[in-house]
C-alpha cells in the first residue's frame, strides 16, 4: 500500500525540503494540484480529502482555510505554519519532549509542526520546568542565531544577490518589539507563566541555527550545579534518535571553545550543550532550521503517524 501525500504549498522553502526528503521513498505517492487551481477551494478540497496525509506549508491564514477544507475523517493534517501550535486539539510535533507528546502525535489526525526557534527553546526549557528546576515565573532570556534560509524566499534572494546591501554581511538583530510569532508556543509548550525575552539574529550563512538560554542558579527552584543540569538533560533525552546531549563542557569535549551554528545542516539532528559554571549555566541547542526546525520534524511526525521507523528518509 502506498500512502497518498499532498503538500499544500510545495513551492515554499519547507514544502520543497519535504518533497526532497521523499525522493527515495517507495511507500508514498505524491499527489498534486494544477498550478492554475492551487488557490481554488473546491479543487483543493478534492485533493486534500483524497489524500491520506496533507502537509500545510502555508501562511497562517491560508493554513487555517486549508485545514477547514478537510472533511474526510481518514485524512491526517500536518501543519508547518504557526496557526495551530497552541491549539490543544492539535498534537505538538516534538516527540522527544515527553512520551505524552509522542503518544498524541501517534494517535492524532492533526499535528502542528513546531517553529524552528521554538524547537530549540522548548528542548531547553521543557525539561527544566517539568523537573521544577526552573520556576514557571523565571525571567527567561533567549538568544538565537539563524541562517537566512529561514526567512523565506524574498530574504534568500536578497542575501544571494551579488549587488546586495553591505548590511547583510553583518548579523542582524530583529523582532525588536518582542512580538515574535514563536513566543506564544514557547510559553505554552514549556509551561512558563510569562513569555521570554527573545533576541534572534539572522546571519550571513544559509542554513543552521543555535538557541541559547542562561540560568542564574540563585534564581532556580532547586540548588543545582552545571553537572546536575547536564545529567538532567542526558537522562531526559537518553533514548532519542534525533536529540543528542553532548558531553559535559566542564570536562572539555570540544577541540575549540566555540559552538558553530551550521554544522547540522541537511540533517534532522539536534545537539544540546551545557556549559558555564555553578553560578551561571548556559544551555545551547544546535540544529538545522530547515531540518529539525521545519521539514525534518514534519517528516518525522509523518513517520510516527504512519507507524514506521521515525528515522525513515531522515539523517
**What is the enclosing helix (H) or strand (E) of 6?**
strand 3-8
Largest Cα–Cα distance of the chain, in whole Å? 61
The position carrying cell 534560509 is: 149
Burial of 78 (0-12, 13-18, 19+ CB in 10 A): buried
Integer CA distances (angstroms), 202 to 147, 163, 171, 174, 272, in order: 6, 19, 6, 8, 21
Residue count of the chain, please give it: 315
Sign of the C-alpha dihedral computed for residues 106, 110, 116 and 119 taken in this order: negative
Phi and psi angles of residue 56, each rounded to the nearest 5 degrees, phi first:
-105, 110
What b/e sequence results for 207-241 when a residue is b if at least 16 CB atoms lie within 10 Å of its CB, and e otherwise? bbbbbbbebebeebeeebebeebbebbbebbeeee
CA dihedral 145, 15, 153, 65 (to 10 degrees): -100
Residue 274's φ and ψ, nearest 5 degrees, are: -120, 130
Catalytic residues: 116
> Are 85 and 114 within 8 A, CB to CB?
yes
> Nearest to residue 141, comparing CAs of 91, 92, 194?
194
Q: CA-CA distance, 273 to 300, in Å (whole number)?
A: 23
| 272 contacts 299 by C-beta, under 8 angstroms | no
Amino acid at each position: 500500500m502506498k500512502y497518498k501525500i499532498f503538500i499544500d504549498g510545495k513551492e515554499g522553502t519547507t514544502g520543497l525540503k519535504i518533497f526532497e526528503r521523499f525522493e527515495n521513498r517507495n511507500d508514498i505517492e505524491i499527489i498534486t494540484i494544477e498550478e492554475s487551481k492551487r488557490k481554488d477551494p473546491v479543487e483543493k478540497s478534492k485533493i486534500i480529502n483524497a489524500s491520506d496525509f496533507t502537509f500545510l506549508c502555508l501562511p497562517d491564514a491560508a493554513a487555517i482555510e486549508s485545514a477547514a477544507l478537510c472533511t474526510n475523517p481518514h485524512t491526517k493534517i500536518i501543519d508547518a505554519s504557526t496557526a495551530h501550535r497552541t491549539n490543544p486539539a492539535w498534537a505538538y510535533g516534538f516527540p522527544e519532549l515527553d512520551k505524552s507528546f509522542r503518544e498524541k502525535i501517534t494517535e492524532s489526525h492533526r499535528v502542528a509542526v513546531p517553529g524552528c526557534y521554538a524547537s530549540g527553546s522548548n528542548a531547553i526549557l521543557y525539561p527544566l520546568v517539568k523537573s521544577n528546576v526552573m520556576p514557571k515565573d523565571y525571567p527567561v532570556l533567549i538568544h538565537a542565531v539563524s541562517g537566512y534560509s529561514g526567512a523565506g524566499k524574498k530574504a534568500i534572494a536578497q542575501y544571494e544577490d551579488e549587488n546586495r546591501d553591505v548590511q547583510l554581511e553583518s548579523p542582524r538583530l530583529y523582532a525588536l518589539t518582542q512580538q515574535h510569532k514563536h513566543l506564544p508556543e514557547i510559553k505554552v509548550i514549556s509551561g512558563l507563566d510569562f513569555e521570554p525575552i527573545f533576541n534572534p539574529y539572522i546571519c550571513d550563512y544559509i542554513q543552521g541555527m543555535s538557541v541559547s538560554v542562561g540560568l542564574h542558579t540563585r534564581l532556580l527552584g532547586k540548588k543545582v550545579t552545571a553537572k546536575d543540569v547536564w545529567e538532567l538533560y542526558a537522562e531526559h533525552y537518553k533514548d532519542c534518535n534525533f536529540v543528542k546531549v553532548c558531553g559535559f563542557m566542564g570536562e572539555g569535549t570540544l577541540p575549540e571553545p566555540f559552538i558553530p551554528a551550521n554544522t547540522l545542516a541537511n540533517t534532522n539532528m539536534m545537539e544540546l550543550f551545557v556549559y558555564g559554571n555553578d553560578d551561571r549555566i548556559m544551555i545551547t541547542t544546535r540544529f538545522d532550521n530547515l531540518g529539525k526546525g521545519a521539514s525534518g520534524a514534519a517528516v518525522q511526525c509523518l513517520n510516527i503517524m504512519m507507524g514506521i521507523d521515525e528515522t525513515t528518509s531522515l539523517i
